[in-house]
Amino acid sequence: MTDSIRESLVGRNTEEIREAAVEAGLPAYRGSQVAEWLYRKLQPEMGGGFGADFATMTDLPQSVRQLFGEKFDLPTLALTRAQTDPHDGTIKALATLIDGGHPIECVLLPDDKRVSVCLSTQAGCPMGCTFCATGTQGLTRNLSTGEIVAQYLLLQSLTTRRISHIVLMGMGEPLLNYDAVLKAIRILNVECGIAMRHITLSTVGIVPNIDKLAEENLQLTLAVSLHAPNDTLRTRLVPVNKTYPLSRLMNSCRNYARHTGRRLTFEYVLLKGVNDEPEHARELALLIRGMGAAVNVIPYNPTTVAEAFGRPDQGRIVAFRQVLEHAGIVVTQRKERGRQIAAACGQLVTEAARSRPMARDLPMVTAEAV
């Protein structure tokens, strides 16, 4: 980690920013004022949030602004480009990490009732799920707390509506970056005012850290990417299953639900001819019986990276859902948002990383124009 990241104030909570102020020889309350600008004056016209600059913090004396500016950085990300899907308003933002210039992506998904965002927790991903475009890149590095929080601030600056829900389901496996992710969750909750129940952490199943998370007893929602109902198939699709097979994962999930009182969601990407048979649905129903968990089915969105996989036809999707529903399981189906800008899970950055336009058929939209 370089000095520029270590010295950034984004990713520190109010108490830590107060301490930074004291270290700089200032009264602690000056730190509270800076935190207010960073995390609560979120709209661009307020001068805070993603566009915050010490120069615009007008309730601080000039000498104080200058001192902060000499000692600390604010940005941890630079917005490279943002694209809007003309059909549903989804915005996909490509950003560059100030430290190292690595590209990451995050997505804003507005609908009638809520504004959700999907944030990345790693640059790339080491898990290598065989159907996932991000997984083909390998891991570049973990993101810092500031880089995770900054994605939220960036997306909030692109909309006039308040973000209400956060999903940690972009690039990367959040539970492999445990400390930075947990701190980001606390900042998003305490500093930015996102309800803990509106924050979802999606994991492919890092068992020891699911157990650790259960001990935190947070009211966040845990989503576990299952994608297969037996070890043979799951190991083929999700290689980490070799390390944490289904018996261990299910024990951990049951423990999590018991400990937190929260209902789990299992994510299941439907891949044509691979895991979409009614028999797979029956096996899945047996695997999760008695847990009161929901299943979110996600018909696969084909990519050029994982060409071996296809999307099941509608009849097959309905049949799969019906088997689960007849077994008394709550089934949801992810709304397909941003397909035109390749904003679907597992497609983040890869296209940009290949130096191609992210959506050749869409006009680029700058942050200012959104």
Choose, by CB under 6 A, the member of 34, 91, 104, 125 that binds ligand SF4.
125
Q: Does 110 bind ligand SF4 (CB under 6 A)?
A: no
210 touches ligand SF4 (CB under 6 A): no
Question: In this structure, are residues 199 and 220 in contact, taking their beta carbons and an 8 Å threshold?
Answer: yes
For 346, left (φ over 0), alpha (ψ -120 to 50), or beta?
left
345 part of the active site: yes
- In the sheet with 115-119, reading across from the earlier edge strand, the strands are 77-84, 91-97, 103-110, 115-119, 165-168, 199-203, 221-225, 265-270, 294-299, 330-333
* Cβ 128 to ligand SF4 shortest distance, Å: 6
- Candidates 11, 51, 135, 146: give the one binding ligand SF4 (CB under 6 A): 135
Catalytic residue (choose from 105, 147, 267, 351): 105
Q: How many residues belong to the site for ligand SF4 (CB under 6 A)?
A: 12
For residue 135, give every residue at least 6 positions away whose Cβ sits within 8 Å of its Cβ, in sequence order, or none.
Answer: 125, 127, 128, 129, 346
The full length of the chain comes to 370
Binding segment (CB under 6 A) for ligand SF4, from list 74-82, 122-130, 148-156, 349-357:
122-130
Per CB under 6 A, which region of 74-82, 126-134, 282-290, 307-315 contacts ligand SF4? Answer: 126-134
Tokens of residue 76, six digits: 């941890």
Q: How far apart are CA 162 and CA 335, in angstroms?
A: 20
* Residue 9 within binding range of ligand SF4, rule CB under 6 A: no
Is 284 in a helix, a strand, or coil? helix
Give the separation between CA 294 and CA 223, rounded to whole angstroms.
9
Indicate if 125 belongs to the active site.
no
CB 230, min distance to ligand SF4, A: 18
Q: Which residues contact 72 (CB under 8 A, 6 or more apart)?
A: 7, 8, 9, 20
Q: Does 127 bind ligand SF4 (CB under 6 A)?
A: yes
If the CB atoms of residues 73 and 276 are measured against ligand SF4, the closer one turns out to be 276
From 147, 346, 350, 352, residue interacting with ligand SF4 (rule: CB under 6 A): 346
Task: Choose the binding region for ligand SF4 from 32-40, 88-96, 166-174, 333-341 (rule: CB under 6 A).
Answer: 166-174
Q: Does 82 bind ligand SF4 (CB under 6 A)?
A: no
Q: Which is nearer to ligand SF4, 106 or 127 (CB)?
A: 127
Least spacing, CB of residue 218 vs ligand SF4, in Å: 21
d(CA 98, CA 225): 30
Q: What angle do CA 307, 308, 314 make, to 5 degrees?
A: 90
Q: Which residues bind ligand SF4 (CB under 6 A)?
A: 125, 127-129, 132, 134-135, 171-173, 204, 346
User: Which residues are tagged catalytic?
Assistant: 105, 345
